[in-house]
Structure 1
Amino acid sequence: MGLIGFLSEYKGIDVAIKALHILNKSKDHKYILSILGTGDKIKYYKLAEQFGVNEYVEIKTLPAGSPVIKWLDTLDIYIQPSKTEGLPRGLIEAMSRSIPAVGTNAGGIPELIENKYIINKGDYKNLSHLIKKILSDANLYNLTAIKNFEKAKEYDFSILKKKRFEFYKKLKEGNANE
């Protein structure tokens, strides 16, 4: 599982680490949390150590573009446990790679993923539950991956460009409310 974001409290990295702790209590499977971002790595490695999951947490910094896409393609599930958020580009990128996702009810996240995969901010127990549920059911996994891919298409640059053009055209004509 993975997430993209600046290493700070508002991205909910602590929530992800607590969820990982719950998931890794199981002896049959050990999950890895891969984080792509910059910031205070030491703080989050220490937190992972406190929860006994430091060997299952990796924090990477990659240049934008192809390396990020390759990294996303290694993930089984994407999580966005943010406490505050705009419209998370990392989530859209993950969805465009047909990766199932779970996120919080912060900012624009509920606009992107289905309500049943939305958790309350800070709810690491439900986060761990949904991760396990999606990853243990192949049909659910595939259905979620397809839906995410279709939703991500709405945020393709060419489609957004066309929508902006239509909006500005209506605005110019005085019909922006249509």
Structure 2
Amino acid sequence: MTVEARFSRSPDGAIWTRGGPAYPFFTRYLSAFDRVRVLARVADVPRRDDGAKRVDGAGVEVWPVPCYIGPAQYLARRAAVVRAVRAAAEDGDTVVLRVPSPLGSLLAASRERAGLPYAVEVVGDPYDVFAPGVIRHPLRPLLRQRETARLRRQCRNAVGAAYVTDRYLQARYPARTGAVTAAYSSIELPAEAYRDGPRRPDPGRQGHTLVSVGTLEQMYKGVDTLVEALARLVATGLALRLVHVGEGRCRPRLERLAERLGVADRVVLTGALPAGAEVRHRLDEADLFVMPSRTEGLPKALIEAMARGLPAVGTAVGGIPELLPPDDLVPPDDPESLAGSIRQFLTDPARMAAASARNLGRAADFADEPLARRRDVFYHALRTAGAGAGTRSERLYG
């Protein structure tokens, strides 16, 4: 299987990750296959990072691709990357590509030229990723057209297609007739990720905390819109602060924006935090989760917040409307509407309580057991479909 993650390899040969999928994630494929080979970028390091989690283990191996960051490094190392990708899968292997993905596209093209099958797990939407305002690049319109067409072709050619949404991605990137299809999120929510019961807001509380979670590598999470909305609310006298969990190269830009709007003292950027207890602690300290994204698939961060019983405001993009009701949605890139929705929530304890109960109930759909059942049916169907196409091995390459 291909993943768009960057792993590190310590001198003893072990593979590690700080923020990407770790060993338990890949063991889910072992329900149907004997071995899993993970195709990913790997960089050698002198020692493992503090807090890093092991990726490889019993039944799971990592096939290293030369590590690159950004288009310039990719072009410089492209020949070595292509060689590694082509050598990763044998003719009889079942290949699963988590797309959109540069590595996945390279392997898909290789399989297509050889007349060999592959399946896809669609986890994002390039049409939205390359939308205006999401990234700044002179070739953005061309990239949007090319990558969208590429993903549509991959879904049409795949013997199986799974989607992280129930409807949204399926409508834009339909599978071919007769293909094995499924819908399930990639999220991992153990029992401890769920709050015991809904929240009961305190009507007399004066100050409130907003929380958002997401990468700051690009601006597609819309945190700049949220900072602008925060400034509007603070200007009206609302006692409010924002905590954002996430790191990336756009952080200085956000810090400058908060300073210019006079809310730097009300914005806390935690940087990257280990998944699990530390993120849940930040969620539990907040009153309202805000997802002002310009693009999304089915956002894991929102589901995790809902599992903590947090009321939430989100934008009407991607798979967010599959999680939140219309009254809790606002247009993207609209700080005025976002500020208005936040104010309505924070000044209405009854609405906060109702949203907490509703979100907690919806998050139960993403517990480990129901998702595992859907995935297992898909993986076993892929194994059968692969065998029908001449697959001899019982390995799964993603």
Fold match by TM threshold 0.5: yes
Which of 312, 337, 358 pairs up with 1:126?
Answer: 337
1:3 and 2:233 aligned:
no
| 1:76 paired residue number | 287
1:58 and 2:268 aligned:
yes
Q: Distance in 2 between matches of 1:135 and 1:24?
A: 13
| 1:36 paired residue number | 245
Superposition pairs of residues 1-178 of structure 1, within 5 angstroms: 1-7=210-216, 8-27=218-237, 29-40=238-249, 41-61=251-271, 62-166=273-377
CA-atom RMSD, angstroms? 1.8
Aligned residue type for 2:366: Y
CA distance 1:112–1:49, change in 2 (3 Å): same
Secondary structure at the aligned position of 1:121 is classed as coil
Provide the aligned length of Structure 1 versus Structure 2: 173
Secondary structure at the aligned position of 1:60 is classed as strand
Higher strand share goes to which structure?
2
Secondary structure at the aligned position of 2:220 is classed as helix
Q: Distance in 2 between matches of 1:19 and 1:147?
A: 25
Secondary structure at the aligned position of 2:285 is classed as coil
Distance apart, 1:26 and its partner CA: 2.1
Cα shift readout 1:129-154 (whole Å, capped 9, x = no counterpart): 11111111111100001000001111
TM-score by length of 2: 0.42
Q: Which structure would you say has the larger Rg? A: 2
Aligned residue type for 2:270: K
Distance apart, 1:165 and its partner CA: 3.3
Aligned residue type for 1:104: T
Distance apart, 1:163 and its partner CA: 2.5
User: Which ranges of structure 2 fall in alignment gaps of 5 or more residues?
Assistant: 1-209, 386-398
| Identity %, equivalent residues | 36
Higher helix share goes to which structure?
1
Aligned residue type for 2:358: K
Cα shift readout 1:113-138 (whole Å, capped 9, x = no counterpart): 11111111111111111111111111
User: Which ranges of structure 1 fall in alignment gaps of 5 or more residues?
Assistant: none
Aligned residue type for 1:24: V
Distance apart, 1:164 and its partner CA: 2.7
TM-score by length of 1: 0.90
